[in-house]
């Protein structure tokens, strides 16, 4: 293999790793947002139930 070909393959691999890193970050953010939304909805449902009992 020529060094140019190896260098090109290395850059492609680095780009793929960068993409995976970014996607993992987005996935973690989406999971955190979903968790926060579910917690908020549970809290609101709990408050509504408490108000209904009064």
Dist. CA 35–CA 27, nearest whole Å: 12
Instruction: Kindly state the average pLDDT of the residues 17-29.
Output: 98
Q: Which pTM value belongs to this model?
A: 0.69
The whole-chain average pLDDT of the chain stands at 95
Provide the pLDDT confidence category of residue 42 given band limits of 50, 70 and 90.
very high
Instruction: Kindly state the average pLDDT of the residues 15-43.
Output: 98
pLDDT of residue 50: 87
pLDDT of residue 41: 98
Q: Which of 16, 12, 13 is nearest to 24 (CA)?
A: 16
């Amino acid at each position: 293999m020529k060094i140019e070909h190896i260098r090109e393959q290395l850059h492609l691999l680095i780009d793929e790793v960068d993409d995976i890193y970014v996607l993992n970050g987005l996935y973690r953010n989406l999971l955190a947002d979903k968790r926060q939304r579910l917690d908020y909805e549970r809290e609101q449902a709990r408050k509504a139930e408490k108000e209904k009992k009064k």
